[in-house]
Amino acid sequence: VHVVSTPAIVLRAVDYGESDRIVTFLTRDTGKLSGIAKGAKRSQRRFGGALGLFAHVTLQYRQRPGAELAFLERTLLIRPWKALLGSLERYAAATHVVEVADKMTLEHEVGDDLYRVVLGALARLDAADPGPATLRLFELAALAACGYGPELEACVACRRPFGAHGAPARIAPAAGGAACGLCAEPNGAAASLSAAAVACLAQMQRAVVEASRDRARGTEWLYEVEAVLPASLGRTVAGEVSAALAALLVPHVRGRLRAAELLGPILSTR
Ligand SMILES: [Zn+2]
């Protein structure tokens, strides 16, 4: 069985037995992958500090056909995060990022779009504390990367655009977007949205689409749109936007998003 080499990000890691570690990665080339690092705690040479949560590494592994776990040969740190682990806010936000990526994907399933989105989000959080829109932009980008980009410019049912003073809208998770007041009921819509929240969501979604088209620039610059959002993003609107994204994620993640539940209060009391 030959050795595969790919850039990867650590999504999850647990100690196993005396000296091994089981690690789940989101790789650039082969999707999500779980493997066992034999002697992880002893072998600085093979894994030196590169099996921790969020680590951005070059991963070398072997996997027999049909085997549940890959055999991890070695990991080499590509880029050390300098500040990601230095504040509770950044750590909490990064935990949410890797949990969403983990719960949205199956093993070996997804291409490199989600990898790029996760990497961009971690780089953003390494550079500065999360703002009110940071994780919402990540969530929209993750949905888009997995082919679930929501419709937020117009009603998912009747296609009427939400104007600047758009009709009352509600999030319709099963339909994959927002529905107008007239269409909301029959489409099982949940959370309601003010016109300001609809406009904010649409603006963020446009930034996500633009960022995904320009692959050469990477996905970090998606977060530049944060600089123009806060003026319209008061606490009430931020709450609506947050609830809307939470609802849109539900059909596409396995189980509950625990980091968001546990750490939401940390992020919202800033
Ligand atoms: Zn409608």
**Using one digit for the tens of pLDDT, what is the confidence trace for 17-53?**
989 999 999 999 999 999 999 998 787 788 887 899 9
Residues 6+ apart with CB under 8 A from 206: none
CA of 158 to the centre of ligand 1 (A): 4
Which amino acid is located at 98 in the chain? V
- With a cut of 60, say whether residue 254 has pLDDT above it: yes
Q: What interhelical angle do 235-249 and 195-213 show, nearest 10?
A: 60
> CB count, 10 Å around CB of 172?
27
Residue from 140, 138, 135, 136 nearest 92 by CA: 135
Tens-place pLDDT, residues 148-184: 999 998 899 899 888 755 567 888 888 899 988 888 7
For residues 229-246, average pLDDT: 81
Give the ranges where 26-162 is alpha helix by DSSP (H): 44-47, 88-104, 112-127, 134-145
CA of 177 to the centre of ligand 1 (A): 11
The H-or-E segment that residue 11 falls in is strand 4-16
Q: Which protein residues have their CB within 5 A of the ion that is ligand 1?
A: 155, 157-158, 180, 183
Q: What pLDDT, on the 0 to 100 scale, is given for residue 232?
A: 56
Distance of alpha carbon 258 from alpha carbon 240, whole angstroms: 19
CA of 107 to the centre of ligand 1 (A): 37
Enumerate the β-bridge partners of residue 20. 16
CA of 189 to the centre of ligand 1 (A): 11
Give the ranges where the chain is alpha helix by DSSP (H): 44-47, 88-104, 112-127, 134-145, 195-213, 235-249, 258-268
Give me the percent of the chain exceeding a pLDDT of 70: 91
CA of 159 to the centre of ligand 1 (A): 6
- With a cut of 80, say whether residue 8 has pLDDT above it: yes
Distance of alpha carbon 84 from alpha carbon 121, whole angstroms: 11
Q: Is the CA virtual torsion 108, 80, 222, 128 positive or negative?
A: positive
Contact 193, 177 (CB under 8 A): no
CA of 132 to the centre of ligand 1 (A): 29
> CB count, 10 Å around CB of 4?
16
Q: What pLDDT, on the 0 to 100 scale, is given for residue 109?
A: 79
Residue 226: pLDDT band with limits 50, 70, 90:
confident
Contact 254, 103 (CB under 8 A): yes
Residue 190: pLDDT band with limits 50, 70, 90:
low
Contact 123, 220 (CB under 8 A): yes
Q: What pLDDT, on the 0 to 100 scale, is given for residue 20?
A: 93
Largest CA distance in the chain: 63
CA of 181 to the centre of ligand 1 (A): 7
Contact 96, 260 (CB under 8 A): yes
CA of 268 to the centre of ligand 1 (A): 32
